[in-house]
Amino acid sequence: MNHLLSMEHLTTAEINTLIQKAIEYKEQGIQTTQFDNKYVANLFFENSTRTKSSFLVAEQQLGLKLIDFETSTSSIQKGESLYDTCKTLESIGVNLLIIRHFQNEYYEELKNINVPIINAGDGSGQHPTQSLLDLMTIYEEYSSFEGMNVLICGDIKNSRVAKSNYFSLKALGANVMFSSPEAWRDETLDAPYVDIDEVIDQIDIVMLLRVQHERHDNGDVNTFETNSYHEEYGLTQARYDQLQAHAIVMHPAPVNRGVEIDSNLVEASKSRIFRQMENGMYLRMAVIDYILQTKGEQTNAIN
């Protein structure tokens, strides 16, 4: 694995290897000088708290040297392309690029970049490290994915998390269902759409998705009825009370409290939302470790 671009590029064996490596880091500690001769640049063209911060901590825990890069002060502002920016960083010796970009599959333009790339989110495409940290959290809970009933609720069409988790969970043997308003469905994903109230007492994992106002065509948050959405598709206290005793609640965050989930449930006993955030740092350490350790064993081409 020379790059991490989408969950479809990973085998189930690679997924399991990354999960086990992340758990090892979590349980046995961290080697802070492992890559002290390597340089990394984080290119975030969209706002981020959890993903960017956990990558930064993971990189520093592994001893990587960080190259200061901010889109607002870079030559991007002068019209430089993403390709030329990445080629510049490659030319000066950067060993790893972490990229979040508003364009779906931005990495297709980077086929001649000879530096490993980790996709930290591409538009409404995919978010592989979020999916992997979600899988790690599920594995810690159940030690398996086979036959698990997973309900993903919300803005399926605009969610890169939904797509990534759909592909990975299905490949690992889980049963994936969606619950979504009609306008936010993605018919390219072959999973059934269900009424949340008809299945809430049968599922093992409920994944709630952030309502992504910034990706809606009109961009007007005032046209969105938060109370109506919460009652129809959100995790209310009444729905939470119907969950099985062993069921868990997940959300990639940031959370719109009172919209996707009742505010009182964000830290409820079944919630793993902050556990996901914790696991994100260890999982991203595992991805960086794996990619830098295996670089050179495969072709650098993006495919």
Tell me the binding residues for carbamoyl phosphate.
50-51, 100, 127, 130, 253-254
Token pair in block for residue 130: 């979020």
Are 267 and 249 spatial neighbours (Cβ–Cβ below 8 Å)? Answer: no
Tokens 């595992």 correspond to: 286
Whole-angstrom distance, CA of residue 73 vs CA of residue 62: 27
Whole-angstrom distance, CA of residue 103 vs CA of residue 120: 12
Sheet holding 149-153, edge to edge: 175-179, 149-153, 205-208, 248-250
* Amino acid identity at 213: H
Binding residues for L-aspartate: 78, 160, 210
Sign of CA pseudo-dihedral 78, 79, 82, 86: negative
E runs forming strands in 198-246: 205-208
Using left for φ > 0, alpha for ψ between -120 and 50, and beta otherwise, residue 63 falls in left
Whole-angstrom distance, CA of residue 231 vs CA of residue 270: 20
Binding residues: 50-51, 78, 100, 127, 130, 160, 210, 253-254
Whole-angstrom distance, CA of residue 216 vs CA of residue 213: 5
Token pair in block for residue 45: 């063209």
Q: Is 15 exposed, middle or buried (0-12, 13-18, 19+ CB in 10 A)?
A: buried
b/e string for 197-213 if b means 16 or more Cβ within 10 A?
eebbeebbbbbbbbbbb
E runs forming strands in 102-189: 117-122, 149-153, 175-179
Token pair in block for residue 258: 């009172």
